[in-house]
C-alpha cells in the first residue's frame, strides 16, 4: 500500500567504489581511465512530526482511528515522529520534544486538533514551531460548538469549554500555515476560505467482504439520536413488515443506553473493536448510516463510511450532503431521505435484490481501492501541501 522509502542508489563494488563516472561510448565497457560519472544522490525522506490531541488508548474512537491510519501511511514515505495522548500525556511528550529543541529535526509539523479547545502546551508547541520557520498544518476535524441545538453541552463547564474553543479557534487558525478540514462545508462553517480538504481515507488492505447472503442489516458506531439510532429502529420495524426475518446488528464499544432492556428480539448488540469487525460484518447483507440530515450531518464525513467501502459492503445511507457526494458518483450505495419509511424502502430493496446488493458491493470496493481514496493518498496530500518543493518518493 502506498509508496515505500526512496530508492537507494546502486552500490558500487571494487576500486572505483565511492566514485561516479560519465557513461562511455556505446559498446565500450567502463575502465578506470574513464572520467567520473555524475548521478544525483538519493533524496532524503521528509521529516515530519504528527501531533495528535487524542488519547491513543481509546482505540474505538474515530479521531484515534484516523490518527493511527495517517501515522501508518505517513511512516511509509516520511521519517515520522509522533506525539499523541490525553492532556497529561501530551503535555509530557510536548515538553520533552521542546526541551530537546526537536523542531530542528523536522521539516514540518502536522497537527490533528481536538474537538475541544487546545491546551496551553499545544499552543506553546505550535507557536514555537511557527517561530522556527517550519510549516505548520492543522486539521480542524469538526465544530460541534456551532451546533449546540444538536449536541448540547449543558452546565457551567459546557459553557466554559465552548467559550475557550471560540477564543482559541482564531489563534489556531492564525498559527497554521496550512489549514485542513474534512469537507468544504466545515471549512465554510469555520470561515476558512483556503482550507485543504482531507477527508478520511479507505484501507484496501481490509478484506473484501461483499454482500452477505441473509437478511441482516449492520450498523457500527455511536448510538445517540444524532447518530440516527431511533430512526434506524423505527425503519427496521417497517422493514420487517415486508421481510419478516430481517435482523439488525448493532456494533459499538458500549450498549445503546436508549435500548437497555427494551430492545426488540430482532436487534442484537455486539461489543467489539475494529479487529472483530470483519467477522461480524461478513454475514450482513448491507451496512447502514442512518444519520438524520441536519446542518451538521451535511458537513460531516463519517469514518464508518470509508470502512464500509473498504469492506466492500452494500451501503444504505441518508442523503446528507458529504455522504451523497461520495456515494452517488460511484454508485456505491443507496441514498434515502431521513424518514423511517424512506430508509426502510431502501433497505428492503437491497435485502430482496441479490443482484443489486452485489452491484453495490462491487462499486463500494472499486471506490475503496481507487488510489485517490486511500489513507496513503491523504498522507501524500499532507506532505505535498506542507513541503511542496520536495520530490515525491
pLDDT in tens, the chain (393 residues): 444 333 333 333 333 333 344 444 544 554 555 555 555 556 789 999 999 999 988 767 889 999 999 999 999 999 999 999 999 999 999 999 999 999 999 999 999 999 999 999 999 999 999 999 999 999 999 999 999 888 888 889 889 999 999 999 999 999 999 999 999 999 999 999 999 999 999 999 999 999 999 999 999 998 988 899 999 999 999 999 999 999 999 999 888 876 656 788 999 999 998 899 999 999 999 999 999 999 999 999 999 999 999 999 999 999 999 999 999 999 999 999 999 999 999 999 999 999 999 999 999 999 999 999 999 999 999 999 999 987 655
The CATH class given to the 47-199+374-386 domain equals: alpha beta
Q: How far apart are the C-alpha atoms of 355 and 48, rounded to whole Å?
A: 46
pLDDT, residue 273, reads: 87
Note whether 113 and 138 are within 8 A (CB). yes
Contact 212, 314 (CB under 8 A): no
pLDDT value of residue 307? 97
pTM, rounded to two decimals:
0.86
Q: Are 138 and 180 in contact (CB under 8 A)?
A: yes
d(CA 102, CA 342): 55
Residue 260 is predicted with a pLDDT of 58
Q: How many other CB atoms are found less than 10 A from the CB of residue 87?
A: 14
Taking the C-alpha atoms of residue 94 and residue 121, their distance in angstroms, rounded to an integer, is 7
Describe the strand order of the beta sheet including 286-289 as a list of residue ranges.
267-271, 247-252, 216-220, 286-289, 315-318, 334-336
Write the CATH number of the domain with boundaries 216-372: 3.40.50.2000
Distance between CA atoms of 282 and 209, rounded to whole angstroms? 5
pLDDT at position 152 is 85
Please, how many CA atoms are within 13 Å of residue 262, restricted to the half-sphere of its CB?
7
In this prediction, residue 240 carries a pLDDT of 98
Give CA–CA dist 341/238, Å, rounded. 7
pLDDT of residue 304: 95
List the one residue out of 378, 5, 367, 329 whose CA is nearest residue 204. Answer: 367
pLDDT of residue 9: 35
Give start-end residues of each CATH 3.40.50.2000 domain in the chain.
47-199+374-386, 216-372
DSSP 86: S
Torsion angle of the four alpha carbons 103, 89, 69, 221, in this order, in degrees rounded to the nearest 10: -150
Amino acid at each position: 500500500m502506498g509508496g515505500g522509502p526512496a530508492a537507494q542508489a546502486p552500490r558500487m563494488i571494487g576500486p572505483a567504489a565511492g566514485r561516479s563516472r560519465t557513461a562511455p561510448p556505446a559498446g565500450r565497457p567502463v575502465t578506470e581511465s574513464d572520467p567520473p560519472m555524475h548521478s544525483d544522490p538519493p533524496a532524503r525522506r521528509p521529516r515530519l512530526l504528527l501531533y495528535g490531541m487524542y488519547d491513543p488508548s481509546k482505540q474505538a474512537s474515530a479521531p484515534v482511528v484516523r490518527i493511527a491510519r495517517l501515522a501508518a501511511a505517513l511512516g511509509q514515505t516520511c521519517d515520522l515522529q509522533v506525539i499523541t495522548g490525553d492532556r497529561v500525556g501530551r503535555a509530557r511528550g510536548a515538553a520533552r520534544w521542546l526541551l530537546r529543541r526537536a523542531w530542528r529535526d523536522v521539516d514540518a509539523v502536522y497537527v490533528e486538533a481536538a474537538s475541544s479547545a487546545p491546551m496551553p502546551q499545544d499552543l506553546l508547541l505550535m507557536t514555537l514551531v511557527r517561530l522556527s520557520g517550519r510549516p505548520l498544518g492543522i486539521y480542524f476535524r469538526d465544530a460541534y460548538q456551532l451546533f449546540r441545538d444538536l449536541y448540547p453541552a449543558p452546565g457551567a463547564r459546557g459553557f466554559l469549554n465552548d467559550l475557550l474553543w471560540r477564543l482559541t479557534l482564531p489563534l489556531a487558525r492564525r498559527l497554521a500555515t496550512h489549514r485542513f478540514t474534512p469537507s468544504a462545508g466545515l471549512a465554510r462553517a469555520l470561515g476558512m476560505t483556503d482550507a485543504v480538504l482531507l477527508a478520511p481515507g479507505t484501507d484496501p488492505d481490509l478484506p473484501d467482504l461483499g454482500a452477505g447472503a441473509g437478511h441482516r442489516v449492520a450498523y457500527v458506531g455511536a448510538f445517540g439520536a444524532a447518530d440516527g439510532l431511533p430512526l434506524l429502529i423505527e425503519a427496521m420495524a417497517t422493514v420487517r413488515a415486508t421481510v419478516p426475518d430481517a435482523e439488525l446488528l448493532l456494533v459499538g464499544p458500549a450498549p445503546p443506553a436508549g435500548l437497555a432492556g427494551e430492545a426488540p428480539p430482532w436487534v442484537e448488540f455486539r461489543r467489539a473493536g475494529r479487529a472483530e469487525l470483519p467477522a461480524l460484518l461478513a454475514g450482513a447483507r448491507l451496512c447502514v448510516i442512518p444519520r438524520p440530515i441536519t446542518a451538521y450531518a451535511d458537513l460531516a464525513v463519517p469514518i464508518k463510511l470509508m470502512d464500509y467501502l473498504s469492506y466492500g459492503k452494500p451501503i444504505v445511507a441518508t442523503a446528507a450532503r458529504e455522504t451523497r457526494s461520495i456515494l452517488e458518483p460511484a454508485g456505491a450505495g443507496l441514498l434515502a431521505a431521513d424518514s423511517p419509511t424512506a430508509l426502510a424502502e431502501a433497505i428492503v430493496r437491497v435485502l430482496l435484490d441479490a443482484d443489486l446488493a452485489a452491484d453495490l458491493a462491487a462499486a463500494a470496493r472499486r471506490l475503496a481501492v481507487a488510489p485517490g481514496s486511500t489513507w496513503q493518498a491523504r498522507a501524500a496530500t499532507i506532505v505535498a501541501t506542507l513541503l511542496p518543493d520536495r520530490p515525491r518518493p
